[in-house]
Amino acid sequence: MKFVALLAALACGAAPLAAQSAQETAAAALEAAPVWDGHNDVPIQLRGRFGNVIGDFDFRDTSETGEDDGRRAMHTDIARLRQGQVGAQWWSVYVSASLPEPEAVQATIEQIDVTKRLIARYPDALGLALGADDVERHMAAGRIASLIGIEGGHSIGSSLAVLRQMYALGARYMTLTHSKTLSWADSATDMPANGGLNAFGKDVVREMNRIGMLVDLSHVSEKAMHDALDTARAPVMFSHSSARSINGHARNVPDSVLARLPANGGLVMVTFVPGFLSEPARQWNANRAAEKARLEALWPGQPDTVEQRLGTWDEANPLPQSSIGDVADHIDHIRSIAGINAIGIGGDYDGIPFAPPGLEDVSGYPALFAELARRGYTQAELEKISSRNLMRVLRAAETTRDGLSGEQPHEHPAGQPRN
């Protein structure tokens, strides 16, 4: 009996010891290779909340930003980035895909401007990064290396000249589409019109490779993903997507594409969007949208009635909870198909209403890495996921750019259809 009691006592003590070991492994990995997140939407929060007037905005602590205007508090500030062990961040200069292209170009330039102004206001904490060497330099100095990514090809107005000028302004990746299909690229969440990428769309990829801008395939259709991989001469990225085999959302990456990433050298930066993580949450979103459409058909012109009845439906059908474990499941799946070198993290903070419990804001990354360590990921593997894979991808894009330095810019006649 004493032996049985001893075994029971050892079993009770095993879980805390294992948890402590996982936390230590995660902490060591993030100390050696801090998180380099692929997508954060602070810039559009600055536009939406403050009209890009940031003289009185305090980015050191934004935890109270939700009180005055009825919105949720922002997910991101310098204090919580530090807590989350973030060493580098891609800031998305997203503007609405519904804007006419000339307006989108102007708005994108305004978003690049406000992002640069935000970075410049905190020189001890943030540093503008225009390449891999800048990222290393800022991280070594204890600053959060800050890179700019364009979210959607509408932001270049179907112009390779504008693309080149966006690069000159500091943009270092571009997501080929956002929510809407363009004249040259199909979106994952809109009707296709090009069969993926048309000839101009493929030239966009070629020109991005030539100038050293990363090709981001989040938001594009599966056919466009394959067309980009067929065309690309440098590794691609998915700045904020997860695995479609775990959650069937069209924004996630199918296995057919994951299987091609080792040859290309690219990576998927797993996102924290609940509807992309949890299949029950995705189904709930679809059911709620159907219920809303049904109510609007039953009570046309009566929005108060629709809202009241939809609230009743919400009370009876709570949103299924997503979790840190769901994020880890997506990472596990991507590793099983594409390998450890194809994984990064792209939280999409401040671009989503909420994230899974434990990952509520940018302070939560260590909890995810502890979960991965509990699943057996080594420190070296965690370092690859946190930032080393993305550093390799960016350096490969720069090497490709340097190797193409003798190639002339791709040209298309101004004002002509992009087909």
pTM for the full predicted model = 0.93
Q: Which of 37, 39, 186, 361 is catalytic?
A: 39
What pLDDT score was predicted for residue 2?
Answer: 40
**List 240, 249, 410, 412, catalytic entry:** 240
Strand ranges in 80-143 using DSSP code E only, listed in sequence order:
86-92, 126-128
- 54: helix, strand or coil: coil
- Catalytic-residue membership of 216: no
- Residue 15, pLDDT score: 44
Position 370 pLDDT exceeds 90: yes
The single-letter DSSP state of residue 240 is S
H or E segment at 178? none
Q: Across residues 57-64, what is the average pLDDT? A: 96
The pLDDT score that the predictor gives to residue 18 is 52
Average pLDDT over every residue of 346-352: 97
Residue of 75, 178, 330, 410 with catalytic role: 178
Is 332 catalytic? The answer is no
The residues, ordered by sequence, that sit 6+ positions from 160 with a Cβ below 8 Å of its Cβ are 203, 204, 207, 409, 410, 411, 412
Active site residue 219: yes
Note the pLDDT of residue 6.
38
Q: Per residue in 196-218, pLDDT tens?
A: 999 999 999 999 999 999 999 99
pLDDT of the residue at 69: 59
Mean pLDDT value across the chain: 94
Chain centroid, CA 405 distance in Å: 29
Element holding 270 (H helix, E strand): strand 267-270
178 is catalytic: yes
Q: Quick one: what percent of the chain has pLDDT higher than 70?
A: 94
Spot the catalytic one: 348, 361, 371, 381.
348
pLDDT band at 382; cut points 50, 70, 90: very high
pLDDT in tens, 104-148: 999 999 999 999 999 999 999 999 999 999 999 999 999 999 999
How far apart are alpha carbons 297 and 306 in whole angstroms? 9
Query: In the prediction, which pLDDT does 7 show?
Result: 38
Least confident of 8-17, 46-55, 111-120, 220-229: 8-17
Is 151 known to be catalytic?
A: yes
pLDDT > 70? residue 372: yes
Task: List Cβ neighbours of 362 (8 Å cut-off, separation of 6 or more).
Answer: 37, 40, 75, 76, 77, 80, 81, 83, 84, 86, 347, 349
List domains and CATH numbers for the chain.
29-278+321-403 (3.20.20.140)
Strand 86-92 with 144-151, pairing? parallel
Q: Are 77 and 139 in contact (CB under 8 A)?
A: no
Q: What is the DSSP string of 129-176?
A: -SSHHHHHHHHHTT-EEEEEEEE-GGGGTT-HHHHHHHHHHTEEEEES
Please indicate whether residue 240 is annotated as part of the active site: yes
Is 138 in the active site?
Answer: no
